[in-house]
């Protein structure tokens, strides 16, 4: 199962961790893992490359884990929060479609 954790402080999403393989299909043909990976990649690229937020990104390939942590503040805060909210909603939609393969938590 893929686990998606969003970290919040009050109304601000401060980062996320996405880990694990969904187990929907064999590696290379798993549409659930591919969809989650695409959403995560788009969010990270938009936050860091488009918005310039300079979020810290850690990848542990052996654990199939990526963690993104925002700085305490950034110039494009509203845009960054919009990207993270969109990511959260998209992953919740995937969870609703594939509840045995994706878990989404706000912590």
Query: Given the DSSP bridges, would you call strands 2-9 and 102-106 parallel, antiparallel or unpaired?
Result: parallel
The predicted structure's pLDDT at residue 27: 86
Residue with tokens 């998209």, as numbered in its chain:
90
Q: Kindly tell me the burial class for residue 16, based on how many C-beta atoms sit within 10 Å of its own C-beta (0-12, 13-18, 19 or more).
A: buried
Proportion of the chain above pLDDT 70, given as a percent: 100
In this predicted model, what pLDDT tens digit does every residue of 55-86 receive, in sequence order?
A: 999 999 998 999 999 999 888 999 999 999 99
* Residue 98 clears pLDDT 90, i.e. is over it: yes
Taking all residues of the chain, what is their mean pLDDT, rounded to a whole number? 96
* Residue 42 clears pLDDT 90, i.e. is over it: yes
User: Domains in the chain, ordered, with CATH?
Assistant: 2-106 (3.30.70.1490)
Q: Tell me if 61 sits within 8 A of 97, measured CB to CB.
A: no
The predicted structure's pLDDT at residue 1: 96
């Amino acid at each position: 199962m893929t686990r998606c954790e969003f970290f919040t402080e009050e109304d601000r999403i401060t980062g996320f961790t996405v880990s694990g393989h969904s187990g929907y299909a064999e590696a290379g043909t798993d549409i659930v893992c591919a969809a989650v990976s695409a959403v995560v990649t788009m969010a990270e690229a938009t936050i860091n490359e488009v918005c310039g937020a300079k979020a810290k990104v850690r990848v542990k390939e052996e654990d199939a884990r990526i963690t993104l942590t925002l700085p305490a503040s950034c110039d494009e805060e509203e845009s960054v929060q919009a990207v993270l909210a969109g990511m959260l909603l998209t992953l919740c939609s995937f969870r609703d479609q594939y509840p045995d393969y994706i878990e989404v938590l706000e912590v």
